[in-house]
Structure 1
Amino acid sequence: MFCFREMTTVEDTGNGVRRRILAHGGKMMAVEVSFDTGAVGPMHSHPHEQLTCVLSGRFRFTIDGETYDVATGDTLYKKPHVLHGCVCLEAGALLDTFTPQREDFLR
């Protein structure tokens, strides 16, 4: 029930992007993703519902063909199977919440 940051590990996914699984269980998962300026979250889709909260920095997100710049405090919703991706405009971090869990992140 308690997930302490100091007990999590950071995975370098390459190209200026790092991922930290904060908590998971049941049907939910919380993941912090850190980006260097200019790093790209490539366009992709998956069967999970996803909420993304911008913890810090600025990003240009494209979701289902719509593109907007977002910043600290903004939140985005992504339906299952919808194409989405981002470019980091100013180094920062995102909090992604998925349901169901991203089993591919746990391998």
Structure 2
Amino acid sequence: MKFSFSKELEITQMAEGLNRKIVNYCDNLMVCEVHFEKEGVTAAMHSHPHEQCTYVVSGKLKATINDETHILEKGDSMLMAANEPHALTALEESVVVDTFTPMREDFIK
């Protein structure tokens, strides 16, 4: 079992206004907290070989998976299969929790 404490987590800037904290991870699972600091901040369309679930903690975002787009708000989520293209754009300041399986080795290098 591994504990992590928010005040000790490193913040990584992914893009201007887009910041990530790796909350915890093991070989098969990674949980990240992602902050979109203001309206218009975007996690551009991308894909990766990990399955991903994104849960909206606060705010409002435009979410796209492949060619399907929806508005997500607090309590909503999206699930992406491995290699499935997806993107998020903040419609206001927002926080999401991203869960990946297996863990994202590229995030810890």
**Hey, what's the Cα distance between the residues in 1 that align with 2:108 and 2:89?**
25
Q: Which residue of 1 aligns with 2:19?
A: 18
Question: Tell me, which stretches of 5 or more residues in structure 1 are unaligned?
Answer: none
Q: Which residue of 2 aligns with 1:94?
A: 96
Cα drift, residue 81 of structure 1: 0.5
Cα drift, residue 53 of structure 1: 0.3
Amino acid at match of 2:105: E
Question: Tell me, which stretches of 5 or more residues in structure 2 are unaligned?
Answer: none
User: Is the 1:15–1:40 contact (alpha carbons within 8 Å) kept by the matching residues of 2?
Assistant: no
Figure out how many residues of one structure are paired with residues of the other and give that number.
107
Cα drift, residue 26 of structure 1: 2.5
Q: Which residue of 2 aligns with 1:103?
A: 105
Query: Under a length normalisation based on structure 2, what TM-score does the superposition of the two structures give?
Result: 0.94
**Hey, what's the Cα distance between the residues in 2 that align with 1:77 and 1:7?**
28
Identical pairs, percent: 37
Aligned residues: CA RMSD: 0.8
| Stretch deviating more after TM superposition (53-62 or 10-19) | 10-19
Runs of 4 or more, structure 1, over 6 Å off, are none
SS of aligned partner of 1:90: coil
Compare the two structures and name the one with the higher strand fraction: 1
Query: Under a length normalisation based on structure 1, what TM-score does the superposition of the two structures give?
Result: 0.96
**Hey, what's the Cα distance between the residues in 2 that align with 1:101 and 1:13?**
17
Q: Which residue of 2 aligns with 1:7?
A: 8
User: Is the 1:58–1:70 contact (alpha carbons within 8 Å) kept by the matching residues of 2?
Assistant: yes
| Stretch deviating more after TM superposition (3-12 or 15-24) | 3-12
**Hey, what's the Cα distance between the residues in 1 that align with 2:74 and 2:27?**
29
Amino acid at match of 2:3: F
